Structure 1
Amino acid sequence: MWAVSDGRAGIENQALGLAEAIARRTPAEIALRRVQLRTPWSWLPAGFTPAPRNALTLGSDSIEPPWPDIWIGCGRASIPLSMGVRRWSRGRTFVVQLQDPRVNPREFDVVAPPIHDELEGANVIPIVGACHRVTPERIDQAALDYPTPLEDFATPRLAVLIGGKSKRQDISARRAREIADALVHAQRETGGTLMATLSRRTNDAARMQLRTWLAPHCAVFYEGEGLNPYFALLGAADHVFVTADSVNMATEAAATGKPVHILAVDGDAGKLERFHQSLQRRGCARPFSSKLETWAYPPLLETDRVAAAVLTAWAARQAQK
């Protein structure tokens, strides 16, 4: 089974997360393939790359036989290859494409886009958010393995996941200060512990505000150096705060079954508003104002749902051969 992406963490983890979920259900070896398209092919729509293997950059992984039984693609660079592998393998490879590929879904065996993209089709499995690698076992073990004993921190433990710039949104310096003040207020009101991690997308101005006004109050404040505490924080947290720009982080937080508080950012939410509404309808998340609320809900297990559906569809096709 191949997980094919451009190698960016947020994209690769979706393909790898689904591959791992499938491998938990049936014995399977997982191989990562990281690919990039050369210009001008990277500028064009996915359907306009007639020979995608010849359009790869020199640094891309080889896309050659033997072909996998299951191919999971995610991200723009993977799409023309996902479309091609059905032909190259003479239909033997079962092709799953994550996100909205913006081509006809019938080019693939299964497409699993976010439900807020409103893509429809007989082989389309809309999901809330995105596939990911978060499991109870992974985050609990990460918390236990973390060099600092997170379980010793005062409760409630408040994990803070800060994103940053996206197509429509960003975090201004002013908004970063407001986020810091609100979180510090919540920590003081509850006597709990703040544990924060910043994204590569967090801009310098926001980073400076958070470093100045939030970091001094945090037991963990991660900016990209050293061991990434992301999974460990999810495992140790009693509450999770997520900036509104990130579908991936909110979906991963909702998989924990812990209260997810959405922190407003700057810009137009666009279709992400529908995503946040879907989380709220399922009881996973609420917008954070100033008061820390506690609630319970069943963990959001969309990756497992897609894995089960993929295996069912793959088995049905195998039975037809």
Structure 2
Amino acid sequence: MAVEAVRDILKRPRTPRIWALLGARKGDNNQVLALAEALGLPFVCKQLTYNHWRHLGPHLLGATLRSLTPGSRALLSGDLPDLTISTGHRSVAVVQSLRRRSGGRTRSIHVGYPRISPDKFDLVIATPEYPIREHPNLIRIPIALSRGTRRAEHHEDFWQSYPAPRRLLILGGPTLYWRLSPQTVGRALDDLLAKAKAHGGSVVVIGSPRTPRRLLLKAQERVRSVQVPATLVPVGGSPPYAELLEWADTISVTADSVAMVSDAISTGKPVELVPIQPTGAGWAVMALMDRVRPSEHAPPHDLRAFWRALKERGLVGSASEGVEPVPDLTCSAVSRAKAIVGGSGKSRSMKGPPRSLGKGLP
């Protein structure tokens, strides 16, 4: 009887051991968690921190844990995983080290731009702005993976003060190649306030940790000076970001952040992009790349390609009411990931049941 019991255990499929390797950026980590949750299998989060060796990059580091702090190395000790889900080029050396230690048994999925060939992974999931050459292990999705909104306590008093239709304006911040024009942001806010005055409803503004303080102060002054229900929610304040997305009827978002734009689109609400302008460095790099290699993206990521993909698929336009919800465009990535892990877990969609893939998705 004991022998038969052991044989029965050995015949049962073992639940794969999955590690979600998290880094420093919340937007990247949310993509890792979104994919791990959608697989419907148990997984363990490993929050990694890096030392100065991280600056060498994946090509120079190779397969090593040298770029990790001692505490993070300790997190990766013990039994090795069957699958890693990683993000950011800093994690590449770590993933390659785990694969080598496992003798190639550990499978790997990378979300984003690893800065090395996709043949180093079982699957790379990337959005259109990254300069990655086509490869069988690469799948491009038009928007970043999103965990969607999770219902929590609602701030009823707040929403009673800001009635529907609620127009949400999300502000990002400048990057090396792109800047937010205060005039452009001001025009976008004034347009939303004018619509609220003419047609009713309210306006809610929220920034991000990258939003310049002076821009937030100007937005706050503007919403306080009008006679329509309007407010600016402090970064990290209440209601939280996820609740704002859930209760908004339309969303306007500055075009600098792939993660924020993807979060907005994933809600199924009408989304409008607030344009941004190139910096001097951005203009020079993009002009050079357009002349020397017109068919390739400007490194390390070319937001122009991301915007083109959104417009081609009709995912952004005018933030007006009455637009049909967008389809779930990430289910193909989840299907590929489930095939790699070989698990039988019940998939948990990031936006409910799987729907149409949408036009033009590979």
TM-score normalised by the chain length of structure 1: 0.84
1:303 Cα offset (Å): 3.5
Please list, as runs of the form range in 1=range in 2, the aligned pairs for 1:100-179 lying within 5 A after superposition.
100-117=113-130, 119=132, 120-134=134-148, 138=150, 141-142=151-152, 145-148=153-156, 152=160, 153-179=162-188
Q: Quick check: 277-286 or 216-225, which moved more?
A: 216-225
1:300 Cα offset (Å): 4.3
Q: Say if 1:34 and 1:314 are closer, same or farther in 2 by CA, change over 3 A.
A: same
* Bigger Rg, structure 1 or 2: 2
Q: Say if 1:215 and 1:146 are closer, same or farther in 2 by CA, change over 3 A.
A: farther
Q: Say if 1:85 and 1:298 are closer, same or farther in 2 by CA, change over 3 A.
A: farther
Indicate conservation of the 8 Å contact 2:269/2:325, yes or no: no
Indicate conservation of the 8 Å contact 1:150/1:236, yes or no: no
Structure 1 residue aligned with 2:232: 221
Indicate conservation of the 8 Å contact 2:89/2:113, yes or no: no
1:295 Cα offset (Å): 4.7
Q: Quick check: 197-206 or 208-217, which moved more?
A: 208-217
1:96 Cα offset (Å): 0.3
Indicate conservation of the 8 Å contact 1:242/1:260, yes or no: yes
User: Pick from 290, 302, 310: which aligns with 1:279?
Assistant: 310
SS, match of residue 165 in structure 1: coil
Higher relative contact order (CA 8 A, sep 6+): 2
* 2:90 is the alignment partner of 1:77: yes
Indicate conservation of the 8 Å contact 1:181/1:214, yes or no: no
Q: Say if 1:123 and 1:218 are closer, same or farther in 2 by CA, change over 3 A.
A: farther
After superposition, the CA RMSD in angstroms is: 2.5
Structure 1 residue aligned with 2:33: 16
Distance, in Å, in 2 between the alignment partners of 1:125 and 1:159 is 31
Please list, as runs of the form range in 1=range in 2, the aligned pairs for 1:293-312 lying within 5 A after superposition.
293-312=320-339
Q: Say if 1:59 and 1:147 are closer, same or farther in 2 by CA, change over 3 A.
A: farther
User: Pick from 108, 111, 119: which aligns with 1:98?
Assistant: 111
Q: Quick check: 292-301 or 112-121, which moved more?
A: 292-301
What CA deviation, in whole Å up to 9, does each residue of 1:14-65 have, x standing for no partner? Answer: 1111111112xxxx223222223321x2222212114532321246462223
* 2:340 is the alignment partner of 1:313: yes
* 2:192 is the alignment partner of 1:183: yes
Distance, in Å, in 1 between the alignment partners of 2:96 and 2:138 is 15
* 2:224 is the alignment partner of 1:197: no
Indicate conservation of the 8 Å contact 1:257/1:284, yes or no: no
Structure 1 residue aligned with 2:257: 246
Q: Where does structure 2 lack aligned partners over 5 or more consecutive residues?
A: 1-17, 287-301, 344-362
* 2:248 is the alignment partner of 1:234: no
Q: Which amino acid aligns with 1:187?
A: A
1:7 Cα offset (Å): 2.9
SS, match of residue 158 in structure 1: strand
1:285 Cα offset (Å): 0.5
